[in-house]
Chain A
Amino acid sequence: MTVSRFRNILYIVVAIVSLAGLADAGYLTVQALTGETAACGGSPDCFRVLGSSYAKVARVPVAAFGLLAYFSVFSFATFAAFGYARARLFLTLTVGAMFLATLWFLYVQAFVLHAYCRYCLFSAAIIFLLAGLVIALPPSQDASDA
C-alpha cells in the first residue's frame, strides 16, 4: 500500500468517525432547542452538565458549535481525501481546536460541575479518536491544491 493510499484511507475513516460526532452533537442541539435540558426527567448528571451555564455561549447551545465543528471536520476530511491540500490544513486546525475545547469541557465536568453527561463523554471519545487519526496521518509530499 502506498503512503498516499494509506493517507486517503485515514481521511475516509476521519470522515466516517466525524459522522458519529455529528449525530451526537445534533441530538444534543435538538435537546437544547426543545428545552429538554431545562427540565428533569432523564439523567440528573446530564441535566447538571447540559443545564449549566457552561452549556451555552451567548445563549447559543455549545452543542450547536459542536455540530458545526463536526460538519467542518467531515467536509475537510472529504475534500482532503479528494486531494485538496488546504483542506488538510483546515482539518488539522479544526481537530486541534476541538481537542482543546474537549479538554476544557472535561475539566468543567470533573472539577466544576462534578457530574458527567454520557453524550459529552461520547463526544470527547470521538474527538480523542479524531485527534489520534490526524496525528497518524503521514506528512503530505504534495503541497499543491487539487
Chain B
Amino acid sequence: MKRYLPFIIVAVVAIATLGSGAMLYRAKVPHPLTIPEDKSLSGKGDAESMHIRGNANAPVTLEEFGDFQCPPCGSIAGFLDELVKEYDPHLRIVFRNYPLENHQHARDAALAAEAAGLQGRFWEMHDVLYREQAIWSKADNPRELFDSYAGMIGLNLDQFKKDMEGGKARARVDSDRERADSLGVQMTPTVFINDHEIGPTDKTPDGLRAAINAALKEKS
C-alpha cells in the first residue's frame, strides 16, 4: 500500500486542483449583459445627450463604458477609431464615462473630457487623454496637464477651467455612471454592440469586427 500512497496523494491533489479550478472558472466567467429595450440606444440619434463618433444614424451602435485611467480602455480606444472609419457609415461609437474609484485621477479626466465637450471638442480631448494616459496617470497634479491638453486642442482655457469645476460636466459624468450602474456594468472597458455586451476575450479588433458584422447581418 505504501508503495502506491505517493501516487494516490498526487492524483488526489491533481483532481482537487482541476475540480476547484473548474468551479472557480464557472463562478468567475462573466455572463454577458443585455441592454433592455427601454434603455436601448439603437435607432436613437440624439446627439445632444451623448458623445457619438461616426454616423449618428448608423444601424450599428457600439456603446463603450470607459475610464480614461484604465490601460485596457486606452488599448481599445486606438482601434475603435479605425473601426468607425472602416465601417463608415454603418457604425457609430457612443462613449460613456465610468471612472473607477480606485483610479485616483479618472474622475478628473472624465470631467476634463466633458468640459472639452462643452466647447465641442470631446473626442479631441478623449484621444489626447488616452494617448497621454501613462503621463497624467502618474502626475501629482494632473489638472495642470489637462489644462495644457486643452490649450493643445484649441479650447478657451478660462472657460475650460470654469467648466471643469461647473455642474454641467459633473452632471454628465454622473448621468453616465448612473446608466452604467442601472445596466449592471462593473468593469472597464465594457462594450455593447446593439445592446449586447461583448465578452472580455472578444475586445480585440477581430473580435469586435466579428460582432459588428453579425449585428450588420441581423439588421439587413
Contacts and interface: CB of A to CB of B under 8 A. Distances in A.
Interface of A: 19, 22, 26-27, 29-31, 33-36, 38-44, 47-48, 51, 67, 71, 74-75, 78-79, 81-82, 84
Given A30-B24, A34-B25, A34-B28, A39 B189 contact: yes
B63 interface: no
Interface of B: 2, 5-6, 9-10, 13-14, 17, 20-21, 24-25, 28-30, 67, 69-73, 100, 102-103, 186-190, 199-201, 203
A34 B30 contact: yes
A35 B207 CA distance: 13
Nearest to A81: B6
A19 B6 contact: no
Contacts of A19: 13
Contacts of A84: 6
B78 to A, nearest CB: 15
Nearest to B67: A40
A74 B24 contact: no
Contacts of B201: 35, 38
Contacts of B21: 26, 29-30
A47 B71 contact: yes
B72 A47 contact: yes
Nearest to A26: B21
A114 to B, nearest CB: 8
Nearest to B20: A26
A40 B71 contact: yes
Contacts of A42: 102
A58 to B, nearest CB: 16
Given A26-B17, A33-B25, A34-B29, A40 B200 contact: no
Given A40-B73, A78-B9, 7 more contacts: A35-B201, A39-B190, A40-B189, A47-B70, A47-B71, A74-B13, A82-B5
